[in-house]
Amino acid sequence: MSETVGAEPVNSIYQWLPSAMDARIRVVAWLSLLSEIVIVGTGGAVRLTGSGLGCPTWPNCVVGSLVPTEEMGLHGVIEFANRLMTGLIGIIAIAAVVLLWRLRRERKDLFVLAVILVGGVLAQALVGGVTVWTGLNPFIVGFHFTVSLIMVCLATVLVHRVYLAPGPRTLVVPVGFAGLAHATSFAVALTVIMGVLTTASGPHSGDADAGRTGFNAELLEHLHAWPGYATLVLTIVLLAACVGGKLPVRRFVVALLVIELVQILVGLLQANLGLPPVLVGLHMVLACVLAAAMTALVLNLKAPTGITPDATEFIGTSELSSRRG
């Protein structure tokens, strides 16, 4: 009798989990993407306010205390708030895994992505700990940011996939256009990498005693800008091809172009105004938005066989599956 009673809550929870794609899964996917971008902003705030060692130990904030003590002041609060953000992202990632549990065989692609995101959160937390242990080594800090960008891209893939039916996909743009889009994504990646090196060589180290790479920051600024401008030119060519060929990915290219223009404007302003922290932080967040937009464009070069990209935004997975059948 007790075994039956004990099993009822478990069965109730299992039955509550989605057996088909629904709004709960999509909301959590969007929350995952949003939180991955937000934590870059909070991490930037840690560095730009000089709070990188506001919590000088890890996983505790200070020796003998998980939370910052009064002696740590505002820097400790800022650093600890960023650590709490990591916990929130972890909860969202676990929620995605739980919600996809009943669909783990039917939508293995989504379930695997959700598990990878959980692993990524744990890995990022560990890298954050190494960053503190090494006294904000600029290369470790740069790696930490790079992994965050990868997490943003993975979360973008998750958002994209929750609106699509499983199964084979077909290229919906000319092969040449797809090649140009991938070349643009390479330019974006190169721009971001050079941006990471530039920041690691600049004045915002996160702490007065933190080291810098020793590279020529002024030279790196140019090496960062050149692939950025190449990205802009390539994106304009993509847009011209979209308009001329009436391609279904035009809105993604337009979004990418707008983000690039804003990012270039912010980059020019920060370079000419002496790298004010607010603009540097905005530049970092926009890098994540740019990475997400580029990922979305590449993903939408293909669509499920027989389904147009536009339709997948409004049709649920179950209905798509039935149409494909």
- Measured distance CA(194)–CA(301) in Å, rounded: 27
pLDDT tens figures, 112-152:
999 999 999 999 999 999 999 998 888 998 899 999 999 99
Q: Looking at residue 65, what DSSP letter applies?
A: B
CB atoms within 10 A of CB 142: 20
Surface-to-core class of residue 106, CB atoms within 10 Å of its CB (0-12 exposed, 13-18 middle, 19+ buried): middle
pLDDT surpasses 70 at 277: yes
CB 75, CB 136: distance < 8 Å: no
Which residue, 44, 52, 288, is CA-closest to 148?
288
pLDDT tens figures, 209-255:
777 777 888 888 888 899 999 999 999 999 999 999 999 999 999 99
Say what the pLDDT of residue 222 is: 84
pTM of the predicted protein model? 0.88
Cα torsion angle, 288, 150, 225, 139, sign: positive
Count, in order, helices (H) and strands (E) of the chain: 10, 2
